Amino acid sequence: MTGTALLFLVLGLGLVGWIFGRARAASFVRAAKGGRRGQVNSLPSYHGWFVAVCAIVPPIIFMFIWQSVSPALVTNMVLAAPAAANLPQDGFARAAILSEARAIAQGFQATAFQAQSDALVPLYKEALSYYKWIGFAGTMLLLFAGGAFAFTRLKPDFRARNKVERLVMLALLFASLIAIITTLGIFASLIFESYQFFSMVSPFEFLFGTNWNPKNVITPGADNGYGAIPLFWGTIFIGAIIAMIVAIPLGLMSAIFLTQYASARVRSWMKPILEILAGVPTVVYGYFAALTVAPAIRDFAVMLGVSNAASDNALAAGVVMGVMIIPLVSSMSDDSIAAVPNAMRDGSLAMGATKSETIKKVLLPAALPGVVGGILLAVSRAIGETMIVVMAAGYTANLTANPFDTITTVTVQIVALLTGDQDFGSPHTLAAFALGLALFITTFFLNYVALRVVKRYREAYE
């Protein structure tokens, strides 16, 4: 029986528990009809929920624990058998044979590539079914014990609603804690892997080196090609310079046009179009940049006389990324312009200023902090963007300010380092985590400052 089927069985039996609990409580209500009202403390469905929860929750927790513990138990049982005595002592070869035998026993793989695996298959089959039955029996035992315990507790004056509501509150609190756990998980995994990386490669080389050509075998003290300055520069050049040159004017002017000039009809058409622009997946933008924009820009550059224009040039990735960011800049500017008190605008118009003078001299200066916050968020979004640069920008680290040249970014290198078939502990993999940590800290900082600026600004006008 598979895990999914067992889960459905548990849930089905929980439903049975709900029905029984509810029926029992309903019988209390019928019995109490002749007597005093309010003899039954809770509504029948709360009794049902109490039984169902007591029956379902412990077995599900048990199933999760068992799922993570049982593979190790199975391996131990196989290794304890006499047939496993002549396995190679070398850890890697041993693990390969064991995992192959397990895959065959579970039916994921048809034939063995290593001779010794075949001998272990029956052992694995036996051990797997042995522990599977223990797991099944444990789950059922907990389910019936929990259900029976809850069922015996049901009485007319049993406070089922209070119990169930306390469980609901616990569930709500637990759900909220998942956000904290995720944040801590991201932070811990990045720090842990980066720490391992920096114990091999010096942080000084990583942060200030200008040679990015990562070697998979680390020579202590020598230049191993882990200087990330070209990547940081490439990320800033594409995400914070080229993309922003496109996104800030277009986004800001779109917001001004839509809020100040456009009629309601035009606005009702244009806003969804900007939303569609924001909803197009980045892989589509990346494909478009690589297939259409980049060759066009290269041809244009060659026409201008730039001889070394690359087909994976920085300009294509940056421009397309800028277009992707336009809706973000536009909606943030829109919000901050709308938050400027009407009295300021009306005052300016009353003095005889034209609309554009009012916007340039009154609205924009007043809305500036909000606009700047929006731009910071946009920069944070742009430097973390992956697919556009992976598909349209290059893989060669290049410390250049020529927009027609190829250039690489932090996110491109994370993808490049992780998509080979590497061992998890290899320097390449760990370097990806170190780059991830740098990216995480930068975006965290940008978002924090942006939210502070926007919040401060909102408070100023409220």
Partner 1 sequence: MSNALTERTPTDWNGQVMQKRISGRYAAERRFKAMGFFAVALSTLFLAFLLFTMVGQGLRGFQRTEIAVEFDFPALTSGASAASLTGENADAALNSMDIPGIVELAVTRQYGADGSALLTPAAAANVRQMLVDDPELVTAKKRLFLPVESRLDVAYKRNGEPAAEQTIKMLSEKNVLQTGFNWTFLTGADATDPSGVGIWAAFKGSLMTMAITLMLAFPIGVFTALYLEEYAAKNKLTDMIEVSINNLAAVPSIIFGLLGLAVFLTLFGMPRSSALVGGLTLALMTMPVIVIAGRNAVKSVPPSIREAALGIGASPVQVVFHHVLPLALPGILTGTIIGMARALGETAPLLMIGMRAFIPSAPQGFSDAATALPVQIYLWSDEVNQGFVEKTSAAIIVLLIFLLGMNALAIYLRNRFETRW
The footprint of partner 1 on residues 379-418 (CB under 8 A) is 380-381, 383-387, 390-391, 411, 414-415, 418
| Residue 258 token pair | 């839509």
Binder among 52, 74, 256, 314 for partner 1 (CB under 8 A): 256
Quickly list DSSP for 166-234.
Answer: HHHHHHHHHHHHHHHHHHHHHHHHHHHHHHHHHTTS-HHHHHH---B---SS--TTS--SB--HHHHHH
Which listed residue (98, 101, 326, 397) binds partner 1 by CB under 8 A? 326
Phi/psi at 313 (nearest 5 deg)?
A: -80, 160
Do residues 98 and 105 lie in contact, with contact meaning Cβ atoms separated by under 8 Å?
A: no
- φ, ψ dihedrals at 351, nearest 5°: -75, 0
Residue 201 or 326: the one with the smaller Cβ distance to partner 1 is: 326
CB closer to partner 1 out of 4 and 86 = 4
Name residue 299's amino acid. Answer: D
Q: How far is the CB of 221 from partner 1 (least distance, A)?
A: 28
Q: Is 288 in the site for partner 1 (CB under 8 A)?
A: yes
**Is there a contact between 210 and 229 (Cβ–Cβ < 8 Å)?**
yes
Q: Are 147 and 51 in contact (CB under 8 A)?
A: yes
* 277-283, Cβ contacts within 8 angstroms, sequence gap of 24 or more: 277/323, 277/324, 277/326, 277/327, 278/324, 278/327, 278/328, 280/324, 281/387, 282/324, 282/385, 282/386, 282/387, 282/388, 283/387, 283/391
For partner 1, the binding residues in 421-450 under the rule CB under 8 A are 424, 432-433, 436, 439-440, 443-444, 447
- Using CB under 8 A as the binding rule, the residues of this chain from 112 to 131 that contact partner 1 are none
CB of residue 131 to partner 1, shortest distance in Å: 16
Residues 185-244 that bind partner 1 (CB under 8 A): 185-186, 189-190, 192-193
Identity of the amino acid at 390: V
Identify the CA nearest to 233 among candidates 72, 402, 111, 368.
402
Identity of the residue, 56 or 391, whose beta carbon is nearer to partner 1 in the bound complex:
391
Task: Collect all residues with Cβ–Cβ distance below 8 Å to 423 and sequence separation of at least 6.
Answer: 429
Instruction: Choose between 3 and 88: whose C-beta lies nearer to partner 1.
Output: 3
Contact with partner 1 (CB under 8 A) among 177, 338, 401, 460: 177
Cα separation, 175 vs 17, whole angstroms: 25
Q: Report in angstroms how near the CB of residue 111 gets to partner 1 at its nearest.
A: 18
Which residue, 137 or 368, is less far from partner 1 as judged by CB? 368
Pick from 419, 452, 456, 460 the residue near partner 1 by CB under 8 A. 419
Query: Residue 299 interacts with partner 1 (CB under 8 A)?
Result: no
Residue with tokens 């973000």: 328
Angle at which helix 44-80 crosses helix 3-32, to 10 degrees, equals 150
Residue 291 interacts with partner 1 (CB under 8 A): yes or no: yes
Reading the block at residue 405, the tokens are: 């040249």
Q: Which of residues 64-103 bind partner 1 (CB under 8 A)?
A: 68, 71
- The residue among 223 and 299 lying less far from partner 1, judged by its C-beta, is 299
Q: CB of 432: closest distance to partner 1 in angstroms?
A: 7
Q: Which span sits near partner 1 by CB under 8 A: 6-14, 23-31, 145-153, 375-383? A: 375-383
- The residue (of 141 and 283) whose beta carbon lies closer to partner 1 is 283
In angstroms, the CA 214 to CA 224 distance is 6
**Shortest approach of partner 1 to residue 90 CB, angstroms?**
21
Question: Which CB, 47 or 381, lies closer to partner 1?
Answer: 381
Q: Which is nearer to partner 1, 54 or 323 (CB)?
A: 323
Build a one-symbol-per-residue string for 136-175: x at contacts with partner 1 by CB under 8 A, - elsewhere: -------------------------x---x--xx-xxx-x
d(CA 124, CA 436): 39
Closest to partner 1 by CB, 315 vs 390, is: 390
At closest approach, how far in Å is the CB of 129 from partner 1?
Answer: 19
Residues 329 to 358 in contact with partner 1, rule: CB under 8 A: 354-357
Region 30-59 residues binding partner 1, contact defined as CB under 8 A: none
In the complex, minimum distance from the CB of residue 405 to partner 1, in angstroms, rounded to a whole number: 22
